[in-house]
Structure 1
């Protein structure tokens, strides 16, 4: 059982994964900022409409739903496709590093 690794191919996969990850990370941070602003505006609008008596917001139900969703996500077991993704470690390691750099610079 000989593993035939080509350092040039691994470097190419790692480098291309890093570049793509950097671009995706940069874009993800920009999109996350936009979503955060939209959610903030929506919550401010809800509070304004509630103060005028136009709308009634059940804030405890809103936050309970968020807490329940995060608990559900934490209790799930990883799917089998996750193992397939982990098997492509050279590309995913480069992508992860690039994503973090792009996200930080974005």
Structure 2
């Protein structure tokens, strides 16, 4: 049995997924920037408190912790995106929209 290709439906699905991907990509980059600013401010605060003798910071351990957290967050984000793309069936539109949204932010 031959099924007709629903071009308008396919376009709506890909367009909608591209829009969702763009919004998520844009938001992800903005959130990443906010987190980077917060971490930077914390490091400045730690350095200030250390210079006043209020706090003693183990910079090697702190740096290793941030590296581990960044690596883990990147892996989890990649896994989440791959899972969404594979299960939603709207991979091409979402991936393109995510890339555009992430680049535009």
Q: Deviations over 1:77-99 (max 9, x none)?
A: x7xx93x851533x222112111
Q: Which runs of 5+ in 1 are unaligned?
A: none
Residue of structure 1 in register with 2:44 after alignment? 44
SS of structure 1 residue aligned to 2:49: helix
TM-superposition CA deviations, 1:53-106 (whole Å, max 9, x none)? 1111111112223444537x86xxx7xx93x851533x2221121111112111
| Normalised TM-score (structure 2) | 0.72
Question: Unmatched 5+ residue regions in structure 2?
Answer: none
Q: What is the TM-score with the length of structure 1 in the denominator?
A: 0.71
CA distance in 2, matches of 1:50, 1:21: 43
Q: Give, in whole Å, the separation in 1 of the partners of 2:67 and 2:39.
A: 17
Deviation of 1:25 after TM superposition, in Å, equals: 1.6
Residue 101 of structure 1 corresponds to which residue in structure 2?
100
Residues 1:32 and 2:36 aligned together = no
Aligned residues: 99
Aligned to 1:8: 8
**Is it true that 1:53 corresponds to 2:53 in the alignment?**
yes
**CA distance in 1: counterparts of 2:65 and 2:104, whole angstroms:** 33
Equivalent residue runs for 1:78-97 within 5 Å? 82=83, 85-89=85-89, 91-97=90-96
Shift of 1:33: 1.3
